[in-house]
Chains A and B, each alone.
Chain A
Amino acid sequence: MNFKRLVAISRKEFIHIRRDTRSLLFSFLIPFVLLLLFGYALSLDIKNIPFSVLDYNDSAASREFVSGFSQSGYFDLKGYLNSEAELKNTIDSGKSLAVIVIPPDFEKNLKASNKVTVQTIIDGTNSNKASIALGYINAISQSYSARIFTEDKVLKEMKAPLSSEIRVWYNEKLDSRNFIIPGLIAIIMLIIASLLTSQVISREWENGTMEQLIVSPVKPIELIFGKLLPYFIIGMIDLSVIIILGKTLFKVYLRGNILLLFVLSSLFMIGALGMGITISIIAKSQVVSYQLALLTSFLPSYILSGLVFPISSMPKIIQYITYLVPAKYFIIILRGIYLKANTFFILAMDVLYLGVFALLMFIIANFRLVKKLD
């Protein structure tokens, strides 16, 4: 491998990027926009769930029960309803996600220590949101009933036999940004590494310049590395920007070692670049290679990596497929370093996988390009 040739190729590739609006957009604007979108708009936390109450009892006990919801911080009381018709209307119109129906004998039965059933109607259109709301409703009802139970004169002496004290580690406030923004690094690197680089060799074929390179003494490995170097540099610039903006805009702090983050991000980037260029070598037209890159690397990485959608809730067969998605391992690494301050040894298996992936991609790229040159 000759360094002068590599530099000549990299320099030319930089000029291509500088003169191509689309490359510039993908390199610098899109990552920034994604960061803002994911940081501000994509929140998986459910707060202020709108709910209403149809209270047939209208007693001190029922009002106290309802106030447990409004004070939890997760629910927003929209008002009291007067009839079943109003109930239907408020759910239909989307004004309330849930309605709690309190039976007429609520207070009387509680006082008599009888079993009381409170009905909850919930809008299941968004099943994810509905099941989270349901969980909250159950938790609040149970804590209410536990309180009643211990206030009971007979049982007052007895302490509750079991209580749990929950402490959340790593993401203390359970803020989804802390979870999303480190993962976003993987997506932004993929945009640069696979979507942009998928164009670099196919552009040479389309220009007819590949023929000229074939008759020159340039070696495939010089061509591959020379072309990838500028994209690697852009990826590292974007990584720095995400770390800085994540901290200043979204208060997502890097707890682990920044050097380890850069080294392992480089490893992932190299693998993804290798994949991008392999696609570019296989497909001789820019349109085809762009589509291929989108389908084989970007979309699976977005959907199957655990970035937004939890892998554990996917069907078993899809879970097995996720083992083939490099971004999955990188996202584990990113979250590990970012939130848990993981060291290299804890992440070693994921690192090994990324290393194997990168090596494999370059072997394929080099092999395929050699074949085309002959």
Chain B
Amino acid sequence: MENIIEVENLTKNFGSFTAVNSVTFSVKKGEIFGFLGPNGAGKSTTIKILCGLLIPTSGKASTFGFDVYRQSEKIKENIGYMSQKFSLYPDLTVEENINFYAGIYRVDPKIRNIRKNDLLKLLELTENRKTIAGLLPAGFKQRLALSCALIHDPPVIFLDEPTSGVDPVSRRNFWRLIKSFANSGKTIFVTTHYLDEAEYCNRISLIYDGRIIELESPYRIKKSYEERFNLKNPTLEDVFIKSIENYRAANNEF
């Protein structure tokens, strides 16, 4: 399987502060790759580099085969991005929001209409197509934001804490959709701090202090922590806390 995202010894400094410290990983086609870590750990800096918004200090990084140093415009054409803020225009209807983003990505109107109808159906928004976005409940807004991020049919999707402020039922439905997109061959890169959500990922990386401290499937991480630290049926939360403690101890941090 080919690698959609490739990162090698990636480092980003802001002055004397190192936000991302020599990180290496790769994401395969059709994979759901989770980025877990506390605020300020370097999650959003990494996402910004991979979306072509920030130039790294050193190391290699490419998204969909395009180099982040030189081909950021090519990257932007091929990614879908959805942030926790659900970037929507509250005074536009559901349909107008989708049409606007389709226009920005130069989607042909005929193709747009087909995709729009499919997305509205899939995300259960068909009945709300004429509704003003500002009046929708959070769960609907989230699905609309996802439709807007997918209207140009991007092969790579970045989700930056996509489920904040959304009720548990909507969250579960959302993740089912994400799974189905991955099954259809799209690559998903997601950051979250809901540890139960990390279970939906094929692989997760725990990021702390600008470094990746674990990178495995949720099942294997839990298994290895069960063995290494003698934990009984650990949850991802247990693993997460233990890994940070362990990292701090190893680096003489308290």
Which residues of A are in contact with B by a Cβ distance under 8 Å? 2, 4-5, 7-9, 11-12, 15-16, 19-20, 207-218, 373-374
Contact = CB atoms under 8 A, between A and B. Distances in A.
B237 interface: no
Given A212-B87, A215-B158, 20 more contacts: A4-B103, A5-B106, A8-B102, A9-B103, A12-B103, A19-B92, A208-B87, A209-B89, A210-B87, A211-B87, A212-B81, A212-B83, A212-B148, A214-B53, A215-B51, A215-B53, A216-B101, A217-B104, A373-B53, A374-B54
Interface of B: 51, 53-54, 73, 76-77, 79, 81, 83, 85-92, 96, 99-106, 148, 158
Contacts, number: 73
Contacts of B91: 15-16, 19-20
Contact of A12 (B85, B86, B89, B158): B89
A218 B73 CA distance: 9
Contacts of B87: 207-212
A217 B92 CA distance: 21
B79 A215 contact: yes
9 contacts: A4-B106, A8-B100, A9-B100, A12-B92, A16-B89, A19-B92, A208-B87, A217-B76, A217-B105
A210 B158 CA distance: 16
Given A4-B103, A216-B105, A12 B96 contact: yes
Contacts of B104: 5, 8-9, 213, 216-218
Contacts of A11: 100, 103
A215 B92 contact: no
B60 to A, nearest CB: 20
A213 B86 CA distance: 12
Given A9-B104, A374-B53, A216 B76 contact: yes
A2 B81 contact: no
Contact of B103 (A5, A16, A210): A5
Nearest to B72: A217
Nearest to A10: B103
Contacts of A213: 104
Contacts of A217: 73, 76-77, 104-105
Which of B91, B102, B148 has the most A CB atoms < 10 Å from its CB? B91
B81 A215 contact: yes
Contacts of B89: 12, 16, 207, 209
A232 to B, nearest CB: 19
A206 to B, nearest CB: 10
Contacts of B79: 215
Q: Which of B88, B92, B104 has the most CB of A within 10 A?
A: B104
B83 A8 contact: no
Contacts of A210: 87
Given A7-B103, A207-B89, A207-B90, A15 B96 contact: yes
Nearest to B108: A4
A68 to B, nearest CB: 66
Contacts of B73: 217
Given A5-B103, A216-B76, A217-B73, A209 B88 contact: yes
Contacts of A214: 53
Contacts of A211: 83, 85, 87
